[in-house]
Amino acid sequence: MKYDTRKDQIIQTSAILFQKKGFSAVTMRDIAKAMGIKAASLYNHIKSKQEILSEIIISLAEQFTEQMKIIKNSNDSSIDKLKQIVALHVNITSKNQFEMSSLNSDWMHLEAELEYYLKLRKNYENDFRSIIEKGIQDNELINGNPEVMLFSMLSTLRSLYIWLPKKEDLDIGKFTTELSLVLINGINK
């Protein structure tokens, strides 16, 4: 994420602090201190920790939602759609590693936006599931348990922020191909 504006910089700094200390333990004062500014100036840009959290999480959730709709509505095969979903997670995570950590660990601290976030997440899972179910129907995928297939893939994709190699060392295309191979074709020879 580029530091386009002071607000973006606040969000980025906060996401790093949330990961380090846990959302509940971070204060607006901590955020101001980490940025080397006074708490009073922080409040010129953003009104609460809750607003920061909402900016981080809802913005990411909407990016996932928007891209998922495009993938779902295309005419590609189910396998190709699943590969595009893997690429989507690798791309967003590689650009927003701390924000993805906050999305994963702190979503339950959302207040006004909690319901909206849960709706986006539910819809995302439903779209993902429908792609898997279509793949089973069309005989592209094994006749397995779609819930196990969904949550197995999704758990790995949602944990990417923890183990994705640091950006400098990462060949995103190669990594996406390797991960798709493991998630879709398995590891058994």
Q: How far is the CB of 171 from its own copies (least distance, A)?
A: 11
Cβ distance to its own copies smaller for residue 9 or 159: 159
**In whole angstroms, what is the distance from residue 73 CA to residue 58 CA?**
22
**What is the size of the binding site for its own copies (CB under 8 A)?**
41
**In whole angstroms, what is the distance from residue 92 CA to residue 160 CA?**
10
Place of tokens 């690429």: 87
Place of tokens 């759609």: 81
Q: How far is the CB of 53 from its own copies (least distance, A)?
A: 13
Buried residues in 25-57 as b, exposed as e (16+ CB within 10 A): ebebebbbeebebeeeebeebbeebebbbbbbb
**172 is a site residue for its own copies (CB under 8 A):** no
Give, as ranges, the residues between 109 and 168 that touch its own copies (CB under 8 A). 109, 132, 135, 139-142, 144-145, 147-149, 151-153, 155-156, 158-160, 162-163
Return the range that interacts with its own copies (CB under 8 A); candidates 39-47, 95-103, 114-122, 171-179: 171-179
Give, as ranges, the residues between 83 and 102 that touch its own copies (CB under 8 A). none
Q: What is the 8-class DSSP label of residue 140? A: S
- Beta-carbon contacts of residue 163 (< 8 Å; ≥ 6 apart): none
Chain residues binding its own copies by CB under 8 A are 22-25, 79, 105, 108-109, 132, 135, 139-142, 144-145, 147-149, 151-153, 155-156, 158-160, 162-163, 175, 178-179, 181-189
